Each structure stands twice: as C-alpha cells, then as structure tokens.
Chains A and B, each alone.
Chain A
Amino acid sequence: MPTKPAGTLYRGREGMWSWVGHRVTGVVIFFFLLVHVLDTSLVRVSPEAYTAVIGAYKNPLMALGETGLVAAIVFHAFNGLRIIAVDFWKKGAKYQRQMLWTVLALWVVVMVGFSIRHLSLALGGH
C-alpha cells in the first residue's frame, strides 16, 4: 500500500528542485528587468542623471549583487535549454537528470570565469 507523502505533495529530487530553481531565478530576473529598463530610461532625462544612477551599480556591494544576478540568469538560461530538450528531444525525459547535472557543471564553469573577470574589474581599484 502506497504511503502518503509527509507534509508535501512533491518528493523532491532533481526534477522538482530544478523547477523550483527555475521559478525563483525567473522572478528575480523579471524584477531586475523592470528596474533595469527604468534606470536605462534615464538616458532620456539627462546624461548626468543616467551616469549618476549607473554609478550606483559600481560599488563592491553591487558587484556581488550583479554576480548573483548573473548566476541566476546563467542557471535560468542553461536549465531553460534543458527544459526545451526534455520537451522536444525524444530521449529528453529519460536523460533529464543527467542534463541537470550537466547544467550545474556548466553553470559552475561559467560562473567561476565570470566572477573572476567581473569582480576583478569591479573591485580592482580604478
């Protein structure tokens, strides 16, 4: 006789957690996008207004925030390609777990590269 899941409808594992990660990163990116269009729109107010507000992105705390944002974007991008493979590739559903680990490995590689480059540019005295 099957036992009832305790406390949650889902059983976890790769399928559910990648879905959770995709939602959370998607919402984070969406709200940043709203702000990012607004800050870029300041080029229509005056050159000084734009440059002043963009200056707020250029401090050490924001450098970490930007790295976190890019981490969210890169995960959402790679996992999105995995979702497309699950939906359209004949063997996608069979290999969805292996593809998630591939996504995470690529994510680590890209983020190590991005973090070294971006943080050394952003934090290195200028």
Chain B
Amino acid sequence: MSATIQSPRSGKIAPQYRRSGSSKGNFEMLAWLFMRLSGVVLVVLIFGHLTVNLLVGEGIHAIDFGFVAGKWADPFWQVWDLAMLWLAMLHGTNGVRTIINDYAEKDATRLWLKIVLYAAAAAIIILGTLVIFTFNPCPVVDGVQLPGGFCPAP
C-alpha cells in the first residue's frame, strides 16, 4: 500500500492538516496580532498616564477627586483613559487566558477559570466605561451637593 504525500509547499494540504478553515477560524492569530498592536499603543498610553499622574508637579499628592474632575473635563483625557481601559483589559484578559490554557489541564477547570475571567473582565470594562461617560464633577444627592465636588457657582 502506498500513500500519496504532497510536497509541503504545493498548497495541496490534506484537510486535517490545514491550519485555517477550521471552526476556530483565525482567532488565535488575531489574538496574537492584537497583543503586539495593543502592546505598542499601551506603552505610550501607560507611560503618559504615569508621567502625568505621578511625576509632574506634586506627583501622587495631587491626586484627589478634583484631579480626576479636572482631567475628565477634557475630552482628550476621557478618550485617553477609555482607550487605556479597553486595550489594557483586553490585553490582560487575553494574557491570562493564555496562562489558563497553559496550566489548567482539566477541561472543566479551564472552562470555569475562563468563565470567571471573562465575567470579571466584562464587569470591569463596562463599569470603567460607564464611570468615564457618566462622571459628574458636581454630585448632588437629594438636592444637596456632596462635599468635595466641583459645582458651578450658583
């Protein structure tokens, strides 16, 4: 009995050896590419974040409610922080997903760890996004301004 083995570069690859076209599609390749693209952007975003928040002026002592209010009054920092939130969370979640796949050997363990991971990631991304877009520098509860807020002069 003789089997026909195609030349590796002939393009005639038996279906079971094809890397694309399976049910998973290109997901793993896209995830790999995303880690590199988001990584480059995150270096800029996070180094900028650390410089502005920790190294300039009084550094960490300047950080309070008013500091956040001042930054988010500017759409530039809203977009900056939103991009940082989404890219860092997706980058980190994909990294932890890789680690779970590497070390959790049982199918059920992998499944449950990833369910917990995705639930936590979704909750944090949604929470952070809502906070950036619904932030109010002058919070009012029952008609009373909360102390420490930044309210327009009456």
Which residues in A have some Cβ–Cβ distance to B below 8 Å? 23, 26-27, 29-30, 33-34, 37-38, 40-41, 43-44, 46-48, 50-51, 54, 57-58, 63, 66, 70, 73, 77, 80-81, 83-84, 87-88, 114, 117-118, 121-122, 126
Contacts of A88 in B (CB 8 A): 36
Known: A37-B85, A70-B50. A47 touches B55 (CB 8 A): no
Q: Is the beta-carbon distance between B127 and A41 smaller than 8 angstroms?
A: yes
B interface, over-half SS? helix
Tell me which residues from 116 to 141 in chain B have a Cβ below 8 Å from any Cβ of chain A. 120, 124, 127-128, 130-131, 134-136, 139, 141
Q: Is the CB of A50 within 8 A of B65?
A: yes
Interface residues of B (CB under 8 A from A): 36, 39-40, 42-43, 46-47, 50, 54-55, 58-61, 63-66, 68-69, 85, 88-89, 92-93, 95-96, 99, 120, 124, 127-128, 130-131, 134-136, 139, 141, 146-149
Please determine whether A34 and B99 come into contact, CB atoms closer than 8 angstroms: no
A-B contact pairs, 29 of them (CB 8 A): A23-B99, A29-B92, A30-B95, A33-B88, A34-B120, A37-B85, A37-B127, A41-B127, A43-B68, A44-B131, A44-B135, A44-B136, A46-B139, A47-B146, A50-B65, A51-B65, A51-B148, A57-B60, A58-B61, A63-B60, A73-B46, A77-B43, A81-B40, A88-B36, A117-B54, A117-B59, A121-B58, A121-B61, A122-B61
